[in-house]
Amino acid sequence: MDKYFVSMQGEIPKYITITRHIKRLIDINKIEDGEKLPSIRSLSEFLNVNNVTIVNAYKRLQNEGYAVQKMGSGTYAKKKDITKNFKKEYSEALKKISGKMVKEYVDFTGETPSNDFFPVQSFKDVLNEVLDRDGAEALIYQEALGYEGLRKSISEVFWNKKIKSDDILIVSGAQQGIDIVSKALINTNDNVIVEKPTYSGALSVFKWRRANIYEVPIGKDGIDVDKFEKILKKNNIKCFYTMSYFQNPTGMSYSIEKKQQILNLAEIYDFYIIEDDYLAELIYDHSIKYKSFKSLDKNDRVIYIKSFSKIFLPGIRIGYLIPPMKFKESIENSKINTDISTSSLMQRALDLYIKKGLWKDYMNNLNHIYKNRYLLMEECIKSHLENKVDFISPGGGLNFYLKIKDSIYVDSIELFRKTKDKKVLITPGTLFYKSPSEGKKYFRISFSQTDEEAMQKGLSIINELLE
């Protein structure tokens, strides 16, 4: 018994202190699920408190789902799965706080740049020019691959004509790209590797395809290659899903050396890389050099997915995909079977926006704005949450991924609920793991929708709740 309770510090009310301590021991598996707790009499004697204090503590544990009482036998620990059904709770909470109501909150959940910075007038001018130029033709679905003008612009501006326009497929955002690739490549019981943690939308797609999902931890410069290869040696892997820059949620980016290693392994072990090129336009640390997996790919092993929605405007729902020749036809068919064609008007408008150089101007402006916010958020985390969280500065993107120190009892789901009550929104790490309980000590905060005042206010509230 003393191995469990010698470190406990008493305070009034005592039964709450005892309850919290036992909960903590259950959470960290010092007391195992189903283990019998000390009798009321023995624990009261050991802690030098009266029996009523222990009775109240055990009742509270039962009410909070951390213990069960078996008549005539005693009280037993119960491991509470607080992650169960949380994804639904999180989604419904954000839906309720959507629209005008969200302005009442400090919103650290954003994944896209703020609408405040979107050049509405210049895009409106481009739309009008397209309608004047093309008339009703701009509104008609035509080419299955996507508008030829946009595909040519992507080839010329983003790939320096190294990728042919006929090898580019326009899709309705990255999520649809992941979905149609999965439909074309992945069957029931196929083996897929993902980063740990990873984008929840991709996890949902692979689970829906009933794939076997293997996770590899991601570090400062990419996944652990040794652990990655151990999985490759033991299993026939179909594909590896990766976010090569400012990975969601960790913010980590791959070194060029690690990309080369993974591309070599893809050839050796015959698997394909699904590269979700996420937020690579927002590089603030110039020691990070941009070179995608696709640009390094000599063996046609990379399925490249890029969304304009994330970095430009979510409502546009446009992205593009570059498949390997082996899967070109099946992926194109998968796209046609999904929705025939992406909005013709928006494709033409985006094409003209890129051709006029407005895209480059907008990206330069975003980089300037968000680099300043990034540096401010980094400084605010250090000053407000010192000794409460650990984190690695990503050097770009829109997020920071924080780990609550083990000495603090609160988990990220509990923190989400408490911050929501204080009108602050965060994203718990449980959403990014195949086994949600592994993300209980992590949470993601984004600075995409927060100015300096909101940052300071939100982080101060988080600090108070982590005390």
What are the per-10-residue average pLDDT scores of the chain (467 residues)? 51 82 79 86 89 90 86 82 75 84 90 84 92 86 84 96 95 93 95 96 94 96 97 97 96 97 98 95 93 97 93 82 95 83 86 94 93 95 93 96 90 93 95 89 94 94 92
Establish if 344 belongs to a structural domain. Answer: yes
Residue-wise pLDDT for 412-465, tens only, equals 999 999 999 999 999 999 999 988 888 999 999 999 989 999 999 999 999 999
Number of Cβ atoms within 10 Å of the Cβ of 277: 23
Amino acid 341: pLDDT: 65
Please name the amino acid found at residue 261.
Q
Mark out the alpha helices in 325-439 (DSSP H runs).
328-339, 344-355, 358-384, 412-421
Number of Cβ atoms within 10 Å of the Cβ of 269: 16
DSSP 3-state of 43? helix
Establish if 306 belongs to a structural domain. Answer: yes
Range of the domain at 203: 121-357
Establish if 132 belongs to a structural domain. Answer: yes
Cis? peptide before 197, omega within 30° of 0:
yes
Asked if 73 and 96 sit in the same domain, the reply is: no
CB–CB of 168/322 below 8 Å?
yes
CATH number at residue 449: 3.90.1150.10
User: At which of 24, 55, 77 does a domain end?
Assistant: 77
pTM: 0.83
Amino acid 368: pLDDT: 93
Asked if 180 and 321 sit in the same domain, the reply is: yes
Asked if 181 and 291 sit in the same domain, the reply is: yes
Asked if 291 and 344 sit in the same domain, the reply is: yes
Asked if 98 and 168 sit in the same domain, the reply is: no
Asked if 36 and 176 sit in the same domain, the reply is: no
Asked if 91 and 69 sit in the same domain, the reply is: no
Tell me whether strands 302-307 and 272-276 are parallel, antiparallel or unpaired.
parallel
Asked if 451 and 409 sit in the same domain, the reply is: yes
Residue-wise pLDDT for 82-141, tens only, equals 666 788 889 888 888 877 788 899 999 988 888 888 888 998 999 999 999 988 888 876
Asked if 28 and 93 sit in the same domain, the reply is: no
Asked if 228 and 245 sit in the same domain, the reply is: yes
CB–CB of 51/13 below 8 Å?
no
Asked if 426 and 439 sit in the same domain, the reply is: yes
**For the chain, how many structural domains are there in total?**
3
Please name the amino acid found at residue 76.
Y
DSSP 3-state of 313? coil
Asked if 132 and 244 sit in the same domain, the reply is: yes
Establish if 115 belongs to a structural domain. Answer: no
Amino acid 10: pLDDT: 47
Amino acid 113: pLDDT: 83
Tell me whether strands 212-219 and 191-196 are parallel, antiparallel or unpaired.
parallel
Q: Name the CA radius of gyration of the chain, rounded.
A: 26
CATH number at residue 130: 3.40.640.10
Amino acid 11: pLDDT: 55
- What spatial distance separates the first Cα and last Cα of the chain, rounded to whole Å? 28
Angle at 20 between CA 17 and CA 25, to 5 degrees: 125
